[in-house]
Each structure stands twice: as structure tokens, then as C-alpha cells.
Amino acid sequence: MIRPRKAFVGQRAQADAVRPDMNVTPLVDVVLVLLIIFMVVAPRLDQDVAIDLPGMLNPDPDTKSFDPVKVTIVKKGEYYFEDQPFDLDGLTQRLTDLHAADPSRRVLLRGDAKVDYGAVREIFARCQQIGFPGLSLLVGERNQRNNKQDAAGGGT
């Protein structure tokens, strides 16, 4: 009597018994952690108006001893008070109201590197007329290499 060959079926059964499964738990854990990090960090990246700050070689370290009011000048005629757009007269009125409510508060001025100095000087003059106790300029840090290029005429 001839038996039919069952090796093929047996091999298939043996192959079905040993199936490697990928463990996706570590992958899901990493993806969830990255998702949480991006959910926390992403809103903070877009808080300020995008400007190119002028740089200086040795800026003062950040002082967190006072709670300043942030004013940003993007271009002449475009002013922001705490990320809300204003014209110059509207900004002056807002600063006057703020100074009346809290006379000890200071102003932190951010200005684009390409802003006309006249626009910055106008903000200085108006803050002085309002009576603010101080006005600070926010600048970026310039490294020595960029400074040597600027002195040699190679900078932008």
C-alpha cells in the first residue's frame, strides 16, 4: 500500500506553528512620548512675532527680576503689544493705560534688525512721555566669527 505524501502538509503545519511576531509595544511607547513632547513644545514655538533680532557680542544675561511689557516693532508702522497688532497711536494708548494701572512696570522692546531707527526712537520718546521707569532692548547674540566677517566687509 502506498501512502500519500504528507510532508508538504506537515511542513505547512510546522511553519504555521512558529510565526515570529513583532513586539510593537516599545515602538508605540516611543511614538506616544514623542507625540506628547511635540504637543507641549509646538505651541511655544509660535508665541512671538517672527523678527530678526540685531546681535551684539556680549549681551547681558537674562534678568527675570521684573515682569516687562513686550513691545515688538516689525517694520515702520507695524507694532505689536504682547502679540496683538496696533498702530502707533493705539499702542501709545495701550501703554498709557497699562502704566496707569501699574507704574512700576517696564517695557521690553524687540525690533527687527532692518527696522528704521526712527521707529525705535519714536517708541523711546513715547515711553518716556508716558513715564515708564525703564525700557530694555532685546537683542540676539553675535559670535566673534560673524563680527570679524562684518568688519572685513564679508557680512550681510
pLDDT in tens, 117-143: 888 888 889 988 998 887 888 766 555
Would you say residue 63 lies in a domain? yes
Q: Residue 148 above 70 pLDDT?
A: no
Q: Residue 94 above 50 pLDDT?
A: yes
Distance between CA 51 and CA 13 in Å, rounded?
67
Q: Which domain holds residue 87?
A: 55-147
Would you say residue 102 lies in a domain? yes
**CATH number, position 83:** 3.30.420.270
Q: Residue 152 above 50 pLDDT?
A: no
Q: Nine-digit cell at 74?
A: 516689525
Q: Residue 23 above 60 pLDDT?
A: yes
Would you say residue 123 lies in a domain? yes
Higher-pLDDT residue of 43, 85: 85
pTM of the entire predicted model: 0.52
Number of domains in the chain: 1
Q: What element of type H or E holds 60?
A: none
Band the pLDDT of 4: cuts 50, 70, 90: low
